[in-house]
Amino acid sequence: MIQTIADVNNRLGVAPACAAMGLARSSFYRQQRPRPARTARRRPPRALSPAERQTALAVLHEPRFVDRAPAQVYTQLLDEGRYVCSERTLYRILEAHQEVRERRDQLRHPVYHKPELLATAPNQVWSWDITKLLGPVKWTYYYLYVLLDIFSRYVTGWLLATQERAALATQLIEETCRRQGIASGQLTTHTDRGSSMTSKPVALLLADLGITKSLSRPHTSNDNPFSEAHFKTLKYQPGFPERFGSLQDGRGHCRTFFGWYNTEHRHSGIGMMTPEAVHYGRAPGILAARQRTLDQAFARHPERFVRNPPSPRDVPQEVWINPPVKKPTHQDAQGSTIVTRADIGGPPRFGGPRAVASRTGAHRRCSLNATGRCLKVVDRLRPPGRVERGRRGAY
The string of DSSP letters for 52-108 reads HHHHHHHHHTSTTTTTS-HHHHHHHHHHTT---S-HHHHHHHHHHTT----SSPPP-
Among the ranges given (1-5, 137-141, 241-245), the one the predictor scored with the smallest mean pLDDT: 1-5
**Is the CB of residue 8 less than 8 Å from the CB of residue 375?**
no
What residues does CATH 3.30.420.10 cover in the chain?
A: 117-265
**Span 313-340, average pLDDT:** 70
**Span 106-124, average pLDDT:** 89
Which of 345 and 155 is assigned the larger pLDDT?
155
Which of 109 and 283 is assigned the larger pLDDT?
283
pLDDT score of 390: 41
Strands 155-161 and 141-149: antiparallel
pLDDT band at 379 (very low <50, low <70, confident <90, very high): low
Amino acid at 24: A
Q: Which fold has domain 117-265?
A: Nucleotidyltransferase; domain 5 (3.30.420)
Q: What is the pLDDT of residues 2-17, one digit of tens each?
A: 777 777 777 778 888 8
pLDDT at residue 58 is higher than 50: yes
Residue 276 CA to residue 269 CA, distance in Å, equals 14
Residue 242: closest CA among 137, 387, 143, 144: 137
- What is the crossing angle of helices 200-209 and 166-180, to 10°? 20
Q: What is the pLDDT of residues 119-137, one digit of tens each?
A: 999 999 999 999 999 999 9
pLDDT band at 334 (very low <50, low <70, confident <90, very high): very low
Residue 370: closest CA among 34, 35, 20, 44: 20
* 363-375 core/surface letters (b: 16 or more CB in 10 A; e: else): bebbeeebbeebb
Residue 156: closest CA among 169, 168, 172, 144: 172
Amino acid at 387: V
Q: What is the pLDDT of residues 201-232, one digit of tens each?
A: 999 999 999 999 999 999 888 899 999 999 99
pLDDT at residue 332 is higher than 60: no
pLDDT at residue 364 is higher than 80: no
pLDDT at residue 367 is higher than 70: no
The helix/strand/coil state of 213 is strand
- DSSP H or E segment with residue 147: strand 141-149
Q: What is the pLDDT of residues 140-181, one digit of tens each?
A: 999 999 999 999 999 999 999 999 999 999 999 999 999 999
In terms of Cβ atoms closer than 10 Å to its own Cβ (0-12, 13-18, 19+), residue 174 is middle
pTM exceeds 0.85 for this model: no
Residue 117: closest CA among 339, 322, 271: 322
Residue 149 CA to residue 90 CA, distance in Å, equals 62
pLDDT score of 331: 45
Residue 54: closest CA among 85, 33, 24: 85
Strands 319-321 and 117-119: antiparallel
* Sign of the alpha-carbon dihedral angle for 117, 211, 264, 240: negative
In terms of Cβ atoms closer than 10 Å to its own Cβ (0-12, 13-18, 19+), residue 153 is buried
* Sign of the alpha-carbon dihedral angle for 151, 153, 154, 156: positive
The string of DSSP letters for 106-130 reads PP-PPPPPPP-EEESSTTSEEEEEE
